[in-house]
Amino acid sequence: MILVRSLAFAAFFYGWSVLIILAMTLVFWGPTTWGLGWARLWNRGTIWGLKRICAIEVEVRGVENIPAGPAIVAANHQCMFDAFAPLSHLPKPSMAGKRELTRIPLFGWYAVRNRLMVVVDRDGHAGALRRLIAQAQAMLAEGRQLLIYPQGTRLAPGETAPYKPGVAGLYGLLGAACVPMATNAGLCWPPHGILRRPGRIVFQYLEPIPPGLKRAAFMAELETRIETAAKALMAEGR
């Protein structure tokens, strides 16, 4: 039954995604504020499909910790869904994404044009870091929330990887608060494969870390908060 539901959801999801992308082409040169609206519509349709087809509920906790103004939001990353779902939670989000995503026809172009993405060039060394900082500063100056995944890759529930220091660099240079966010999305939507397992996906926003901490103290605090909350959510989900 899970396989049948998963195949049905895959057909729905990719069909829905193509429909959204085709609709976006009709308004590609419209106001940049439309981009977030399309992303949220895509999310709503996906959540509807998860619930109706796969018996997967989606819950957001810690709403009181969601920043209204400029901030860094740092999260663990388990699957495709937890990369784009927060675009519906945050008031003015911009996601840090690898350069390869910008090459996806229409989707990548639209994300960059509508300022939904800060481009991370992982092979660009010092020059790429300067460009990333400049983009992040511009986004925060617009009152946006910069969504970043400190581990830099999708990890299955239970897997661990060191948090990369780039998030600490941004935190120190931007002088912004950082809101940790934890999820157990990988229990229902694995990092790879087509199976979608019934259950409850939770996105939990934690208390913000104020600006001004030293690099080591910030990294330790961020990792402890996210990993502790994520483990609790995964234990609850199992």
Banded pLDDT at 90 (limits 50, 70, 90)? very high
Residue 107 has pLDDT above 80, yes or no: no
Question: Has this prediction a pTM greater than 0.75?
Answer: yes
- Write the pLDDT tens digit of every residue in 13-68: 999 988 988 877 766 666 666 777 888 899 999 999 999 999 999 999 999 999 99
**Coil, strand, or helix at residue 58?**
strand
Q: Write the CB contacts of 167 (distance below 8 Å, at least 6 apart in sequence).
A: 72, 74, 148, 150, 178, 219, 222
**Alpha carbons 181 and 158: distance in angstroms, whole number:** 17
Q: What is the mean pLDDT of the chain?
A: 87
- Read off the pLDDT of each residue in 78-87 and give the average, rounded to a whole number: 91
Residue 102 has pLDDT above 60, yes or no: no
**Alpha carbons 73 and 61: distance in angstroms, whole number:** 15
Strands 199-205 and 178-183: antiparallel
Token readout for 152 is 């830099």
* Through-space distance between the first and last CA atoms of the chain, rounded to whole angstroms: 19
Domains in the chain and their CATH numbers?
2-237 (3.40.1130)
